[in-house]
Amino acid sequence: MFRPYFEVKITPSALVSGASQLEQIAKLIDGCAFAIVALDGIRPNVIFEYGIIYGKGKPVILLKEENATVDIFGYFGDAVGLTVAAPSIDVDKQFSDVTDQNHAPWNRFAFGKTVRLVWEEYRRKKDTIPGYVEIPEPRM
């Protein structure tokens, strides 16, 4: 859909085995014109990668999954008997350093709407994306 206009790289599938994840992710971010961060569950790696993107001054499309929760099991690992329900993501609390950043609500199960949302958000960022290319509205 967007392939003729730009190349999509998704972590971790874009990473090469046997090499530093951190170095590869930093290099991918260095080479990108913009990034899409999908808050589908707040996890330390997502927050860390967002920090690299922000620190490198890359424009970002920030999406928040409508039903996303904080991945507390990722923080506690195999804690025996952990019976705490994962809370819904509250960007103003769990991602508080970016509360001034608007995020677009997104539903991972609505593929057509997701494609259109990414296209719309990309167009809104045209003044901040170096080498911005106008792409036609995707048809599903």
Residues 6+ apart with CB under 8 A from 114: 106, 107, 108
pTM for this model (two decimals): 0.81
Q: Give me the residues of the chain with pLDDT under 70, please.
A: 1-2, 77-82
Which burial class, exposed, middle or buried, applies to 25 when counting CB atoms under 10 A from its CB (0-12, 13-18, 19+)? buried
| b/e map 89-98, b = 16+ CB within 10 Å | bebeeebeeb
CA distance 104 to 70: 18
* CB half-sphere exposure, 11, CA atoms < 13 A: 20
